[in-house]
Amino acid sequence: MRIQEKSEDPDSFQGISNMGFLEHLEELRITLVKCSVIFIVACILIAFNLQDLTSILLQPLAEAMDSTEKAREVLRTSRPMGIFSVILQVVFFGALGLSLPFMMYFVAGFISPALSQKEKKTILPSCILATLLFLGGIALSYYFILPISLEFSVKLNERQGLIPLWSASAYYGLVVWLSLAVGISFQFPLLIILFAYLELIPISKLKSSRKIVFVIMMVFAALITPGGDPITLVLLTGVLYALYEIALTISKFLVGRKNT
């Protein structure tokens, strides 16, 4: 008896069927070069605007202390070359945040030949939405989470009769790292929507996993929260879980619309 071969989607793997292993490596090399170049360009842009950027990054502390002058007096460098640590952190993390949306687009272009036609249609909207979510996460951290957390710390120090003197490296590292981490964490609703739309994960399974997801989000928030700050932990966990519920609602709407 002749075994019938399983038919494949004619649009699936069409781009990679004619590519050899060395061609795949070449495409990967080109993608990595593009990512490296955009990161280097971002580093140069950040370096040339370093003073303006550090002034911007100081604003959450200035808002917490109600004075830019007081905020500047609080920050100190404890080592002769400590300023280089500040510069390197701001340039590296700032450039990573600036270049990350472009890197995601390059990576999406690299994997697109392995996708079906239906999956390819989601690439551009996904990249746009990923960039908006990333910028939204950075904005939330900068304008909401950081000022509230820093104000809590400042008020707690004042209540104990202590004068805060913080390392400039630690402060700027906190601002850029937390903003970047929150921006990246905002990508998970997009993944949920994509997985549900492409029918990789049933919506019923996502709904029944609410408790597990909440615990995972709390653990993740604790990992990226500097010093175990309870205010940042609660705020970030609440925001992430709210995004999860929004993602479920959008997924249900899109899947229902696709099936009608």
Q: What is the pLDDT of residues 191-228, one digit of tens each?
A: 888 888 777 788 888 888 888 988 888 888 888 776 56
Whole-number pLDDT of residue 44 = 93
Domain limits at 209? Answer: 187-255
Task: Indicate if 160 and 105 belong to the same structural domain.
Answer: yes
Task: Indicate if 65 and 96 belong to the same structural domain.
Answer: yes
Contact 246, 133 (CB under 8 A): no
The 3-state secondary structure of the chain reads CCCCCCCCCCCCCCCCCCCCHHHHHHHHHHHHHHHHHHHHHHHHHHHHCHHHHHHHHCHHHHHHHCCHHHHHHHEECCCCCHHHHHHHHHHHHHHHHHHHHHHHHHHHHHHHHHCCHHHHCCHHHHHHHHHHHHHHHHHHHHHHHHHHHHHHHHHHHHHCCCCCCEEHHHHHHHHHHHHHHHHHHCCHHHHHHHHHHCCCCCHHHHHHCHHHHHHHHHHHHHHHCHHHCHHHHHHHHHHHHHHHHHHHHHHHHHHHHHCC
Within a domain: 2: no
Within a domain: 8: no
Q: Cα separation of 214 and 184, whole Å?
A: 18
Whole-number pLDDT of residue 45 = 92
**Average pLDDT per run of 10 along the chain, which is 260 residues long?**
44 50 76 91 90 87 81 76 78 85 82 71 78 87 85 82 79 85 85 81 84 87 72 84 89 77
State the pTM of this model.
0.75
Task: Indicate if 50 and 85 belong to the same structural domain.
Answer: yes
Task: Name the domain count of the chain.
Answer: 2
User: What would the pLDDT profile of 158-175 be if each residue is shown by its tens digit?
Assistant: 888 777 778 888 888 888
